[in-house]
Amino acid sequence: MNNYLAAIKIKYVFAFSLLWFWTYAQVPLSESTAPDSLLTPQFKIVMLGNSITHGGNWPMLLNRNDVAERGVVSDVLTGFYKRVQEIYKLKPKIIFTEGGINDIYNNDSAEIVFGNYKKLIEDILMRNIKVVVQSTLYVSSKYNHYAEKNKVVSELNALLKQYCKEKQIEFIDLNPLLSPEGTLKSEFTYDGVHLKGPAYLLWAEQVNGYLTKINF
């Protein structure tokens, strides 16, 4: 039995080695040192955001294998702008954005956050990539300074919504679903800002609805 297992192991090592040789040894050295198309996967859809985006399993939620999740905990819009330069390597067709709440809790005004958001959006559009702006989410009444911060969220969303209307950019407003009274419903959050599964399901319905609408 041991000799049999050893033979099988040798067989698989040989097969793997042959596959490696066929894939890489046939490529000229000048090409194999920079195989971007081999090393960088490509995704049609990118979900760009902060920890709220990061909390969702987006390939599963959207039932697609061409979705990349690029949410980073505690990130702000200036961070989005820096990161999106690397995201372009994924060759996305659509980038869904969600952010702003961390900026607001860093005491940035709605106007400042909006200015940084516009810079991000315009950079994406310059790459001939479609951008979909998703509303900045309210926090719940259990979260610190919720009334003050939700007021700024409202101001920011008003600016984003008007800008998207003028530029004919899709704006998905999640707050009527998750925060119909102007604060995030307790059933949708476990800490006042981050979302539970049912909230992601509602969110995904909106994204899938848009993708169906554009036949994507």
Check whether 211 has a pLDDT greater than 60.
yes
| Nearest-5° Cα angle at 186, 181 to 188 | 95
pLDDT of residue 37: 43
Domain co-membership, 49 together with 8:
no
pLDDT of residue 114: 98
Q: Which tens digits make up the pLDDT trace of 78-110?
A: 999 999 999 999 999 999 999 999 999 999 999
Domain co-membership, 85 together with 139:
yes
Highest mean pLDDT among 15-24, 35-44, 118-127: 118-127
pLDDT class of 39 with cuts at 50, 70, 90: low
Check whether 26 has a pLDDT greater than 60.
no
Strand partners, 134: 172
Q: Which residues does 52 contact at the CB level (< 8 Å), separation at least 6?
A: 71, 98, 101, 137, 193, 194, 195
Check whether 6 has a pLDDT greater than 60.
no
pLDDT class of 74 with cuts at 50, 70, 90: very high
Domain co-membership, 6 together with 64:
no
Cα dist from 98 to 12, 38, 50, 90, whole Å: 46, 29, 7, 19
Domain co-membership, 18 together with 115:
no
Q: Which H/E stretch holds residue 45?
A: strand 45-49
Q: Which two tokens stand for residue 125?
A: 């559009």
**pTM for this one?**
0.82
Cα dist from 49 to 58, 150, 185, 215, whole Å: 12, 19, 21, 24
pLDDT of residue 40: 73
Phi first, then psi, for residue 192 (nearest 5°) are: 105, -15
pLDDT of residue 29: 27
Supply the CATH number for residue 50's domain: 3.40.50.1110
Domain co-membership, 13 together with 86:
no
Q: Give the count of domains, the chain.
A: 2
How high is the mean pLDDT of the chain?
86
Angle between helices 77-87 and 110-126 (to 10 degrees): 10
Domain co-membership, 53 together with 148:
yes
Q: Which tens digits make up the pLDDT trace of 169-200?
A: 999 999 999 999 999 999 999 999 999 999 99
Place of tokens 């690397």: 86
Range of the domain at 176: 40-213
Domain co-membership, 6 together with 60:
no
Domain co-membership, 48 together with 26:
no
Report the distance separating Cα 194 and Cα 64, nearest Å: 23
Q: Which two tokens stand for residue 89?
A: 């390597």
Domain co-membership, 124 together with 173:
yes
Do the strands 94-98 and 67-71 form a parallel or antiparallel pair, or are they unpaired?
unpaired
Highest mean pLDDT among 5-9, 20-24, 40-44, 140-144: 140-144
The helix/strand/coil state of 69 is strand
Q: Can you tell me the mean pLDDT for 46-68?
A: 98
pLDDT of residue 180: 97
Q: Select the more confidently predicted residue: 35 or 105.
A: 105
Report the distance separating Cα 202 and Cα 61, nearest Å: 10
Domain co-membership, 28 together with 110:
no
Check whether 22 has a pLDDT greater than 60.
no
Question: Do 35 and 88 form a contact (C-beta atoms < 8 A)?
Answer: no
With b for 16 or more beta-carbon neighbours within 10 A and e for fewer, the 13-40 pattern comes to eeeeeeeeeeeeeeeeeeeeeeeeeeee
Q: Can you tell me the mean pLDDT for 30-52?
A: 71
Q: Which tens digits make up the pLDDT trace of 58-72?
A: 999 999 999 999 999
Domain co-membership, 53 together with 73:
yes
Domain co-membership, 49 together with 72:
yes
